[in-house]
Amino acid sequence: MTVTIGRRELLVALGGAAAAWPLAARAQQPAMPVIGYLSMRSAKSDLPMLAAFRQGLNETGFVEGKNVTIEYRWGDGQYDRLPAFAANLVRQRVAVIVTSGGGPAALAAKMATTEIPVVFNMGEDAVRAGLIASINRPGGNLTGVMSLLDILGAKQLGLLRELVPRAITIAMLVNPNDTWAEKQIAHTQMAARELGQN
């Protein structure tokens, strides 16, 4: 059940809660909010994503090291490391977990917590991947952006066919551990069959 309250009511509630906290509890609160950043990629390969992420934080008034801390966890392509990294971030009681690199990182974060907000960015359908219940009513603690890259294989193949019309064999590299790999392969194979008929 979702309850909506106005800004004034929220500020009054937060102010009252803060006044009620014992001084000892306040002293235990972290000096800055901590964001958990969980990626299936490496720090080097995530540089463009990190630049955009930091820029977005800066535009909303958050500067790393000044008024927000970021705890990074890198999977370096080893998907089996992600669940332990996500659990570690939950134990650290981060304010939010931001995932990068697609479904595997987001799924690891989802399995680790039902309370901490998780923000994902992925190139597949989050409903089909099991992250959210539906696009209109995602429910739970996850939200994010879907680019639906799994259906781009057909378009890419069509463009490649225009660029190299005499190509007989075209190879496709896909990481079989990606949650969207099967769907991407199916879409691309269907497009190849259609192009073969033309």
Give the pLDDT mean for 68-74.
96
Residues 44 and 112 in one domain: yes
CB atoms within 10 A of CB 188: 21
Question: Over 80: is that where the pLDDT of 19 sits?
Answer: no
Residues 84 and 157 in one domain: no
**How far apart, in whole angstroms, are the C-alpha atoms of residue 191 and residue 188?**
5
Q: What is the pLDDT of residue 80?
A: 94
**How far apart, in whole angstroms, are the C-alpha atoms of residue 177 and residue 160?**
25
Banded model confidence at residue 193, pLDDT cuts 50, 70, 90: confident
In the chain, the number of structural domains is: 2
Evaluate if pTM is beyond 0.85. Answer: no
Banded model confidence at residue 145, pLDDT cuts 50, 70, 90: confident
Among 119, 46, 37, 111, CA closest to 76: 46
**How far apart, in whole angstroms, are the C-alpha atoms of residue 45 and residue 110?**
23
Mean of all residue pLDDT scores within the chain: 80
Range of the domain at 176: 150-197
Degrees, nearest 5: CA angle 159-164-170: 80
Residues 193 and 168 in one domain: yes
Domain boundary among 112, 129, 147: 147
For residue 79, is it within any domain? yes
| CA 163 to centroid of chain Cα atoms | 33
Structural contact between residues 38 and 97, judged by C-beta atoms closer than 8 angstroms:
yes
Question: Over 80: is that where the pLDDT of 26 sits?
Answer: no
For residue 47, is it within any domain? yes
Lookup: tokens for 120: 């994902």
